[in-house]
Amino acid sequence: LCSLSLSLSLLWSDCFSKCCLLLLLLMFVLPFIPRSAGDELCSDSYPSEVTTDGCFLEVQGSWTVKGEVEIDTGANPSAEGGDEGGFDSNEQKVVDIIDAFELVEQGEYGKKDLMSYFKGWIGSVMEHIEEDEKDAFKKRVQTGVKKLVGMCKELQVFTGPSMDPDATMVFAYYKDGAAAPTFVYFKDALREVKC
């Protein structure tokens, strides 16, 4: 009986500590998911700010290296019996947000294409907006649409991995002098999921 209670208490403490660790990890990474689909498009673990009168959540991306990376330890490969010819690397330079959320680039959109998309998209998002918030949403989204349509030549357009443009699209552009793109999300089209 004593060994059974000891086993149960060890099992309980191990399970409890794993659950606590999982909760702590999830507390600091809140995914943002489109209101009308299940693709995870962003996380609060990236630097972000709300802009354009509350219409956009702008998230700063950064370049990162993915894959096998050569690490120079300062050793002489020929003295160590290694290959002097170098290292055949499988490294790839990617933008962290595109890679992490498997965003799919959709090609170029002209002003007419964007306006056509936004017309249908606004209707689908309106279904998910609270009735008392709809007027404020319409005002915010008009400002955002005008801004994006004005920038259409410098935008990259993405969808989530399901490639459902009705869910919402993600827009990216390079701020003046920036080395990596800034991603633009319509804040009202996202749903914050607390894990």
Backbone angles phi, psi at 17, to 5 degrees: -65, -35
User: Which run of H or E residues covers position 149?
Assistant: helix 134-150
- pLDDT digit string, tens, across residues 151-183: 999 999 999 999 886 678 999 999 999 999 999
User: Which run of H or E residues covers position 56?
Assistant: strand 56-60
**Residues with Cβ within 8 Å of residue 104, at least 6 apart in sequence:** 158, 159, 160, 161, 163
pLDDT at 76: 66
With beta carbons less than 8 A apart as the criterion, state whether 96 and 64 touch.
yes
- pLDDT digit string, tens, across residues 63-110: 999 887 666 666 666 655 555 555 556 788 999 999 999 999 998 999
The one-letter amino acid at 43: S
Q: Is the pLDDT of residue 11 over 90?
A: no
Dig out the tokens for 193 from the structure: 């999921």
Q: Is the pTM of this model over 0.85?
A: no
**Residues with Cβ within 8 Å of residue 182, at least 6 apart in sequence:** 58, 59, 60, 61, 172, 173, 174, 175
**Residues with Cβ within 8 Å of residue 81, at least 6 apart in sequence:** none
Q: What DSSP character marks residue 131? A: G
Dig out the tokens for 80 from the structure: 């160590």
pLDDT at 68: 73
Q: Is the pLDDT of residue 118 over 80?
A: yes
pLDDT at 98: 96
pLDDT category of residue 15 using cuts at 50, 70 and 90? very low
CA dist., res. 195 & res. 184, Å (int): 23
pLDDT at 127: 87
Q: Is the pLDDT of residue 114 over 60?
A: yes
Strand partners, 66: 92
- pLDDT digit string, tens, across residues 21-69: 333 333 334 444 444 456 889 998 999 999 999 999 999 999 999 887 6
